[in-house]
Amino acid sequence: MNVTRRLRTALAVLSLALPIAPVLADNPAGLEDHVRKEIDRRLEAGASRMREAALAELRAALAAADATGAAAPGGVLAALNTIVTEEPLAHVKYLASDDLKGRESGEEGCRTAAAYIADRFKAMGLAPAGDDGTYFQHYTIRARGGKKDTANVVAILPGTDAQLKDELVIVGAHYDHVGQGKGFVGGRIGGPKGDDNIWNGADDNASGTSGVLSIARALAASGLPPRRTILFLLFSGEEKGLLGSAHYVKHPLYPLAKTVAMVNLDMISRNAPNKIGVQGTTTSAPFKGWVEEAGREVGLTVSTGEGFTFAQSDQFSFYLKNVPCLFFDSGMHKDYHRVTDSWDKIDAGKIAKVARMAGQVVWRAANTDEEMEFRKLSSALFGGLGGGKPRLGVELDQLDAETREDAGLPKERAGAYIKSVVEGTAAEKAGMQDGDIVLAFGGKVLPAKGTVEAFREAITKAEKGPVRITVWRDGKELELTATLK
């Protein structure tokens, strides 16, 4: 139903024949006040129930205008347009400062970043959605020095539509990075430069975090509640293997079956100032049109091609649970995972544009009546995760020195690190777990060089049926049997 028809329906409740078109054209933001005065003037005492019914219908009509991109002055589009350079720049400068020591999950700098994010959510008036009424969803990871606590940071903007408020739209980013040190372990590519041994992670991913914070502030300040609930979700553990998002989908705060969309921002501040990549637009029918329309609105040229990097950030954990996902990313650059990824290299104006664009898409998802059915991407994008060949169902990573030491694996043993076990696959049914280290597959010990590549090749060459897998877990070897299909 279009906006004018809904307004006429609201007014018809009171049998009022008001000239709404001129008011809608000249002063949409004041339309409710105009109608309220007319109602108060015409109604006698005792008609308040009818009055409130008309106003409720009016508010729904105004929300529908924003949901279709026709935001009235003072509405959501205007609120998103208040996201300008200074806001994300301030967030990035703090999160990527030396004081936070690279925000490595499980370390003090990461906890400081989490507290900063929670404080921002509280200042925005957003309700906490984590453990025990807090903004934190805690979980344990394997890190330097043993198992350590870390947390996702979560806030909520409740939906108000009686039929849709139990459905959820998630907008997220990871706030962790790879910490500090002198070596190339833990995802670091470049070594220290001089005395600088802090991997500040300004683009990766203080930029995406600042984008989510900016969207949250704008939507909270708009004063217009969404029809569906919006969850703002900042992950830790991404750099250690999508651990925060993997923990969330295993322990969701709201049912995944009711989660209609997940929008992820990761590395959005570099390269061409007026271009952005958005992957996942084919995971639900309305996405591509929404993304392209929002890109035109903010002046960004959008590339919507899919690539293998879709499996390398937190939206992939949700994709594996059949949640439609979008991945905003501006691409690789020479400072990726190097100490030179510092705040002075970012384009804060680009973060602001991407945040305004992503915010529009989030709002559309939270208010649309269009069907958002999940669609799978080509399995070729994910290597061993799909296709007609036998499928084990694991995400792999190189085994670094820190993880080897924490696991107590002898130096002479080679292994492939399991970042994540996909639910419902042969790996999970065999008893494989996140954090296992695969030592042998099909009776053959993995080689010291090209370990992960050799394991992947062994999976693709394996016959369907049972296969023996040797893993290292909790300081000892375990023999498992997986049935490949």
Q: Model confidence at 131, in pLDDT bands (50, 70, 90)? A: very high
Q: Which one has a higher pLDDT value, 316 or 143?
A: 316
Q: What is the pLDDT of residue 72?
A: 37
Q: What is the pLDDT of residue 113?
A: 98
How far is C-alpha 322 from the chain's CA centre? 15
pLDDT for 191 beyond 90 = no
CB contact at 8 A, 425 and 393: yes
Q: Which one has a higher pLDDT value, 381 or 183?
A: 183
Q: Model confidence at 382, in pLDDT bands (50, 70, 90)? A: low
Q: Is the dihedral of CA 106, 169, 272, 352 positive or negative?
A: negative
Alpha-carbon Rg of the chain, whole angstroms? 25
Q: Which one has a higher pLDDT value, 208 or 241?
A: 208
Q: Is the pTM value of this prediction over 0.75?
A: no
pLDDT for 64 beyond 50 = no
Pick from 306, 326, 195: nearest CA to 264: 326
Which residues on adjacent β-strands are paired with residue 68? none
Most confidently modeled of 57-71, 341-355, 378-392? 341-355
For the chain, give the percent of residues with pLDDT over 70: 81
Q: What is the pLDDT of residue 373?
A: 96
Q: Model confidence at 17, in pLDDT bands (50, 70, 90)? A: very low
Q: What is the pLDDT of residues 363-372, one digit of tens each?
A: 999 999 999 9
Q: Residue 289, by phi and psi: left (phi above 0), alpha (psi -120 to 50) or beta? A: alpha
Q: What is the pLDDT of residues 65-99, one digit of tens each?
A: 444 333 334 589 999 999 999 999 999 999 999 99
Query: Poorest-confidence range of 35-39, 44-48, 148-152, 304-308?
Result: 44-48
Helix H or strand E encompassing 405: helix 401-407
State mean pLDDT over 113-119: 98
Per residue, the 3-state secondary structure of 353-399, as one string, reads HHHHHHHHHHHHHHHCCCCCCCCCCCHHHHHHHCCCCCCCCEEEECC
Long-range CB contact pairs, 195-198, < 8 A, 24+ = 196/339, 197/339, 198/98, 198/101, 198/102, 198/339
What's the rounded Cα separation, in Å, for the pair 396 and 306?
20
DSSP 142: E
Q: What is the pLDDT of residue 69?
A: 38
What's the rounded Cα separation, in Å, for the pair 469 and 431?
10
Q: Model confidence at 12, in pLDDT bands (50, 70, 90)? A: very low
Q: What is the pLDDT of residues 416-462, one digit of tens each?
A: 988 777 767 788 899 998 889 999 999 999 998 888 878 888 887 88
CB contact at 8 A, 266 and 209: no
Q: Model confidence at 392, in pLDDT bands (50, 70, 90)? A: confident
Q: What is the pLDDT of residue 35?
A: 65
Which residues on adjacent β-strands are paired with residue 139? 150
